[in-house]
Structure 1
């Protein structure tokens, strides 16, 4: 018996979604979803998947050769358009024999009004039905190849950040002053030297002292790290390898940490470990979030934990599943997501500890490898 390819399995899953909504097919625009299905990494394209598993990729003629090469051996039909809405609509109508009232799903989260209006005007006898984020739950179950790519992205990111941080320790007391932005820029250079597909998976966060209380602050050139003072350094960083992302946060200390920082660090770490140890198929995401949140609240810092516990990581740096009190979906084997509790106190600083986890049949495998079971001093 012939074993189905990964591409065929993905297409089958999409067809099941299409048929469950009694549609003829789905128009896809989001670049990550196009790559997931067809293996094409370009922009300026549309993908149509029919209810029977026929996959057409519509590209501007300038990108035809690239699209043909990237989708080779995947049973993808690459087609050129000159007049976008007219040409795509004509092909859909003639190839799939669409009738009045037939349903076409489209990715409403990613289509502009102009695009919706353009296709709807050319195919006005059809019913265009929004299908917001229809592929996210399919994408959240990672294949072995996807996990391999994520692990390589993690390896590149960790090595690159370790090398960047090392510069602070070596030059801590020198006249060569190193800023938050210097570390972020050096990290980007290290990523490219290590083989990252792009210079960053997202904008690197490097924040010192009280600025670490901003969960998504921007590194600045005038914030000097090696100023000889004891303080916090929060680094949130990622890499991209073969289109797949990593995401990790470490909170470091340069000099001798005070008791308040030590206590907060231990609380955040314990909350994270409680949550990770509870991960298993069948548990609701809202319950996982509650485990970490309740622990931090019990220790008196609940109001300073201001974001959800984590998020999925894959082709997008933030993707389904989202680990929050609102998500009552259940955890499934094969999911990859972050666990990243944090405490952020204005005027003092913040602590966030973030690891990526793979759900196994028995629990969770921590994919990130930097140990976080104690405060790491730069010097």
Structure 2
């Protein structure tokens, strides 16, 4: 077990008077043990108790020979895994449950111990994961470095006039060549009017002169995700598109400029949103300003108007304002931001100056 991470979780459990917790999410189990286990539909449960005596209930189909620092309780498909888990647990206690644990497991556990109080335990691990340790920060920097290489490659390929789909296929090769294990999310390459859809799915479109090109990509390296967006233009850029681009860029920079420990996430969102609204494009900025990232591309926490939490050193999140004009074009600029003791560090180094690809 990752002792420092586990201790932080146990401390928060004690603070919230949570006696025990069932951790079933693969990402959370990896965070605490350093081991990826993907059980599919089968039961996988890391049982934590504030008094110790932790257990990992795992199916024999997923052999784990490593010493994970926790006793393994092996089950098979002919056994009732929930009953075995219930027998390990203390009865009539406040029990944290993973937010994604299937109801078929939880309902059976509640029948076996109807006296316990069941609460969402994921909020504890989610909040611990928000502040990255030194090793995690190095992994995130390396993942971002690889994505900077990839986004620059994609920008240079615009002039080849590949379809959006083909660009995505080439991106997979670029990531593999640079040591990444895959995409952190389905890449977005959006030409012209396609860019007005923030989550456009790549298709067979081919770039045309005057198009904006949104390139929103990220990889997984050392089990940590990266995510960046750059928008460029093909052969020419209209005055309107130039104005929109500069507005988004300024919103991105204004939001980054106020990031430091103690600042509220909602105020970071406001810095970007107020600028875009002042330029008359407020209704075309249709999403939150950013999201937390780490083991998952969208970790717990976001940069939104309703998030009153304050940023802390070690947090990493995106700042990605955008303007989307239906039927015309879109512009988004995204960086990952690491909160430091005295301010912040931008993990993405690719230029944000307006670029026209000839």
TM-score category of the 2 structures, normalised to the smaller one: over 0.9
Asked if residue 284 in structure 1 is aligned to residue 264 in structure 2, the reply is: yes
Correspondent of 2:83 among 82, 86, 97: 86
Correspondent of 1:309 among 289, 305, 316: 289
Q: How does 1:1-379 map to 2 (within 5 A)?
A: 7-44=2-39, 45-64=44-63, 66=64, 68-69=65-66, 72=67, 74-82=68-76, 83=79, 84-90=81-87, 92-93=88-89, 98-99=90-91, 101-107=92-98, 109-169=99-159, 171-172=160-161, 178-198=162-182, 200-221=183-204, 223-225=205-207, 227=208, 229-372=209-352, 374-379=353-358
CA RMSD of aligned residues (A): 1.6
SS at match of 1:236: strand
> Displaced runs of 4+ in structure 1, greater than 6 A?
none
TM-score, with normalisation over the residues of structure 2? 0.94
Structure 2 segments unaligned to the other structure (5+ residues)? none
> Does the 8 A contact of 1:59 with 1:78 survive in 2?
yes
> Does the 8 A contact of 1:356 with 1:367 survive in 2?
yes
Q: String of CA shifts for 1:1-55, please: whole Å, max 9, x gaps.
A: xxxxx92211111111221232321001111111111112012221111102443
C-alpha displacement of 1:105: 1.3
C-alpha displacement of 1:260: 0.6
SS at match of 1:9: helix
C-alpha displacement of 1:127: 3.0
Whole-angstrom CA distance in 1 between matches of 2:251 and 2:158: 29
Whole-angstrom CA distance in 2 between matches of 1:132 and 1:367: 27
Instruction: Report how many residues are paired.
Output: 351
C-alpha displacement of 1:163: 2.6
- Residues 164/340 of structure 1: CA separation in 2 closer, same or farther (3 Å cut): closer
C-alpha displacement of 1:305: 0.7
Q: Which moved more, 1:355-364 or 1:44-53?
A: 44-53
SS at match of 2:337: strand
C-alpha displacement of 1:142: 0.5
Whole-angstrom CA distance in 2 between matches of 1:167 and 1:290: 35
Whole-angstrom CA distance in 1 between matches of 2:46 and 2:96: 12
> Does the 8 A contact of 1:15 with 1:53 survive in 2?
no
Whole-angstrom CA distance in 2 between matches of 1:79 and 1:43: 16
Whole-angstrom CA distance in 2 between matches of 1:359 and 1:263: 30
C-alpha displacement of 1:87: 1.9
Whole-angstrom CA distance in 1 between matches of 2:157 and 2:286: 32
Whole-angstrom CA distance in 2 between matches of 1:18 and 1:240: 30
